[in-house]
Structure 1
Amino acid sequence: MSNRILLVDDEEKLLNHLFEALSAKGYEVVTAKNGLAALKLYEEQRFDLVILDIMMPEIDGHQVCEKIRLENPEQKILFLTAKDSTRDKIEGLRLGAKDYVTKPYNSEELLLRIGNLATPSPTDQGAAATAILNTYSFGGNTINFKTYQASCNMGTIDLTQKEVMLLKLFIERKNQVISRTQILQTVWGYDVYPVTRTIDNFILNFRKYFEPNPAEPIYFYSIRGVGYKFTENE
């Protein structure tokens, strides 16, 4: 099976050029012209590599990267962008990108970098299989990330998109304290900051859904002045 690449850029000329160059090398390439379209494609398909432009309308490449990494922490991502500042490169690498190429680029160099990233190793394949798990169970509760439903002490309930994103973040960083700022950036986006009590209200809901006794939580903790933590005793 050929290696699959999701190519995301709002510059149509560049998008078409790269599509043709990568297709000629034998890659199966799927394109998107904005971040929202890219996220929809990512929910529906599997990719060995995601190539992202940063400056895009509606939702930028950094935000797309963060949401993809929340879905699959092992996904390989390469940033292709006109932004050449050290700050942007550091931010991209902080979010988990594997490489960073600045426009205008040398075609031969770019194809070599893509080739190095696009071929999955056995370790990558095993990690991807783990990341694709659709459900997570703890303490008699089961969360289904595909149907946005949970089976808990309240029966089968429907979850909102934000609830699912926040639960994924907690489970991905199980037993780690996550700061309020990290949660706001990951789940709500860089420029959207809900009122102070928003996260606390989500935690209260999670306790109501999943805790044997919401007044004495054993899974979802608020650490005063620091952040929040999901703990599961093995």
Structure 2
Amino acid sequence: MGERLLVVEDEPSLLKGLLDVLSLRGYEVESSGRGDEALEMALTRPYHLILLDVMLPELSGFEVLKALRQAGRRTPVILLTAKNTEMDKVLGFELGVDDYVTKPFSLLELLGRIGAVLRRAEPPAATREAPADETLTFGPVVFDIKRYTVHHPEKAVELPAKAFDILRVLARHEGTVVSRDTLMDEVWGQDQFINQRTVNNLVVKLRQTIEADPAEPRFLKTVHGVGYRLDR
């Protein structure tokens, strides 16, 4: 293995247990019990994956995740949470989380999810896609897909990382209809808890950025009952 993981958990006994198990499994592990410290570590050191508790001192897991994605960091993140509400999951996925594990959890489940996320993050060379265009232009609005940034001539724009991922998939299939199920599979993976409302909400955010009149879209169009089509 040898993958480098950052474990962010403020409960000492749980943190110790996680570090012991992950180390025995061959992972190289670093840890933090504070949100602000974890954010600094994640921004300045390379990790293959971050296990991130939601309830942390100084900065919450959601705040750490949001800051990472706004900084353009695509390090895979699994959130550890004591809450199992749909709204929390929707928020996390919109911010760019890769998976959720609800406390209390079994170590076997956690190890399985870590392995699945790591496999999705680095697909085998034989199946890896050719890089897509790094920028997408819609009139005066320019998306830098690689850096997860938007240049808008009239306003500052911040978008969730998953909105960029949706746009990347739509651009790869430009001119053809992409179903919501396909977007969910390609952006989040088939084993994720995602509903179509999450996709719809992110498309709304994209339209508000791309379109001069979001109610009458020119670029990002809905094909009712099927999905979305990107036309440029």
TM-score bin, normalised by smaller chain: 0.5 to 0.7
Q: Secondary structure at the match of 2:50?
A: strand
Q: Is the 8 A contact 1:9 1:53 kept in 2?
A: yes
Aligned pairs for 1:50-69 within 5 A: 50-69=50-69
Contact 1:52 1:79 in 2 (8 A): yes
Residues 1:172 and 2:148 aligned together? yes
TM-score where L is the length of structure 1: 0.54
Indicate whether 1:100 and 2:100 are aligned.
Answer: yes
Match of 1:16 in 2: 16
Is the CA contact (8 Å cut-off) linking 1:5 and 1:118 kept in structure 2?
Answer: no
Provide the aligned length of Structure 1 versus Structure 2.
146
* 3-state SS of 2:150 partner: coil
Partner Cα separation in structure 2 for residue 3 and residue 68 of structure 1: 19
In the alignment, is the contact (CA less than 8 A) between 1:5 and 1:29 conserved in 2? Answer: yes
Q: Based on CA coordinates, which of the two structures has the bigger radius of gyration?
A: 1
Q: Which amino acid aligns with 2:69?
A: R
Task: Quote the Cα distance in structure 2 between the aligned partners of 1:56 and 1:35.
Answer: 6
Alpha carbons 1:78, 1:101 under 8 Å: kept: yes
- Preserved CA contact (<8 Å) 2:54 2:81: yes
Match of 2:217 in 1: none
Report the aligned-residue RMSD: 3.3
Unaligned stretches of 5+ residues in structure 2: 130-143, 162-207, 210-232
Distance apart, 1:3 and its partner CA = 0.4
Output the CA distance in 1 between the equivalents of 2:96 and 2:79: 10
Change (3 A) 1:181 1:58: farther
Shift of 1:107: 1.4
State the 1:178 CA deviation.
9.3
| Cross-structure match for 1:81 | 81
Structure 1: where are the runs of 5+ without partners? 128-167, 187-225, 228-234
Question: Any conservation in 2 of the 1:81–1:101 contact (CA below 8 Å)?
Answer: yes
Alignment partners' CA distance in 2, 1:83 and 1:178: 39
Query: How many angstroms apart in 2 are the aligned matches of 1:62 and 1:5?
Result: 18
Residue 3 (structure 2) aligns with: 3
Percentage of identical aligned residues: 34
TM-score, normalised on structure 2? 0.54
Give the CA deviation at 1:11: 0.6
Change (3 A) 1:94 1:18: same
Give 1:44 shift. 2.3
Query: How far 1:181 sits from its partner (Å)?
Result: 8.7
Task: Answer yes or no: is 1:109 the counterpart of 2:100.
Answer: no
Find the counterpart in structure 2 of residue 40 from structure 1.
40
